[in-house]
Amino acid sequence: MPALLLILACALWGLSFPVIKALDLEQSARLPEASKTFLACWLQMARFTLAALLMAPLLLHRRPTRRELSQGAWLGFWGGGGMALQAWGLAYTEASTSAFLTQAYCVILPLVACLKSRSLPTRKVVLATALVVAGGTILSGITPDKLRLGRGELATLAASFIFTFQILTLENPKYEGNRGLVVTFIMCAAIALIFLPISASLAPSPAALLDAGSTLPSFLMVLILALFCSVGAYGLMNSFQPRVSATEAGLIYTTEPIFTAGFAMFLPVLLGKLAGQTYANESLTTSLVIGGSLILAANLLMQWKHKPHPPSIAPAG
């Protein structure tokens, strides 16, 4: 069950990519003076601020403990830092290259697990990791002649390394018993606080901080991102990831590009109409079928005759 709920989280994260793209089209048309970096940072600030506000009424009678404050702050630090680096790196590399390199944590996590246990990875983990790397390569269209490590690629690899710590923070036994929704609220508030000064410093004018979300389409898309892709996805992640190993979680999270590709086949046109911009749907390709099948096979392999992972966190609540 935890694995299925984490896959649901990946589906919700997959929804975010076409929504963010449509939002960028809408905002760029209205605010031509705003840089892509500002819009990316503003989105994190607005998205997680709204997510925290949406969650606040549910937590009025649930005061966070010191351990929950600590874990939520660390998750916000690692998640916010990783997203900032990833957004900066995207300005200097192709999106397909960034998507592939971001999946590096599925290789880093087994190595960390081996260092912690002072043992070699199992054959199942090695095979599953190889399937994910191969599937991600095919999905992204990466070939050796296209991959070069410039500053964008290095920044994306650094972001993936930071995301590794976000995943490991949820497995840390010292946070055993923390409530997932409370931790998610603290994480959202922390990310909002991180990006508020960054957005203010990058804004072309003070008014741009409000203008960026001043239209009904922009507000609705930020609301979708806050409710489904932040509260929903991160609530599931923070509540149920501690019930599987970090290595298994890293492999499960690689299903996200499959859901993204599925949403991209029908949502762009609908979102484009909402944003008042032209945004074409994507089509089913051979690379999507083969790459997605390899990633799915890796996750099925990890679940085959799988022994339950000892829970390190209480149920969501």
Residue-wise DSSP of the chain: -HHHHHHHHHHHHHHHHHHHHHHHHHHHHH-TTS-HHHHHHHHHHHHHHHHHHHHGGGGTT-PPPHHHHHHHHHHHHHHHHHHHHHHHHHTSS-HHHHHHHHTTHHHHHHHHHHHHHTSPPPHHHHHHHHHHHHHHHHHHT--TTT----HHHHHHHHHHHHHHHHHHHHH-GGGTT--HHHHHHHHHHHHHHHHHHHHHHH-SSTTHHHHTT-SHHHHHHHHHIIIIIIIIHHHHHHHHGGGS-HHHHHHHGGGHHHHHHHHTTTHHHHHHHHHTS--PPP---HHHHHHHHHHHHHHHHHHTTPPPPPP-SPPP-
Which tokens is 244 given? 């599987």
CA torsion sign for 291, 4, 69, 202 is positive
**Confidence label for 159 from pLDDT (cuts 50, 70 and 90):** confident
Whether the pLDDT of residue 309 is over 70: the answer is: no
Give the C-alpha separation, 97 to 17, whole Å: 15
Give the C-alpha separation, 138 to 213, whole Å: 36
Cβ atoms of residues 295 and 257 within 8 Å = yes
Classify residue 312: in a domain, yes or no.
no
Characterize 42-53 residue by residue with b for buried, 16 or more Cβ atoms within 10 angstroms of its Cβ, and e for exposed: bbbbbbbbbbbe
Structurally, the chain folds into a number of domains equal to 1
Give me the amino acid identity at 271: L
- pLDDT, greater one: 94 or 194: 194
Classify residue 75: in a domain, yes or no.
yes
- pLDDT, greater one: 33 or 104: 33
Looking at every residue in the chain, the average pLDDT score rounds to 83
114, 199, 218 from 192: Cα distances, Å: 34, 10, 18
Whether the pLDDT of residue 236 is over 90: the answer is: yes
pLDDT of residue 314: 40
Classify residue 313: in a domain, yes or no.
no
Cβ atoms of residues 234 and 5 within 8 Å = no
Whether the pLDDT of residue 311 is over 60: the answer is: no
54, 242, 255, 293, 307 from 296: Cα distances, Å: 33, 21, 7, 5, 19
Task: Give me the mean pLDDT over the 43-51 stretch.
Answer: 95
Whether the pLDDT of residue 307 is over 60: the answer is: no
Whether the pLDDT of residue 312 is over 70: the answer is: no
Domain of residue 150, residue span: 2-303
**Confidence label for 146 from pLDDT (cuts 50, 70 and 90):** low
Q: What is the pLDDT of residues 199-228, one digit of tens each?
A: 999 999 999 999 999 999 999 999 999 999
Classify residue 119: in a domain, yes or no.
yes
Q: What is the pLDDT of residues 182-191, one digit of tens each?
A: 999 999 999 9
pLDDT of residue 316: 39
pLDDT of residue 93: 64
Classify residue 315: in a domain, yes or no.
no
- pLDDT, greater one: 208 or 156: 208
Classify residue 10: in a domain, yes or no.
yes
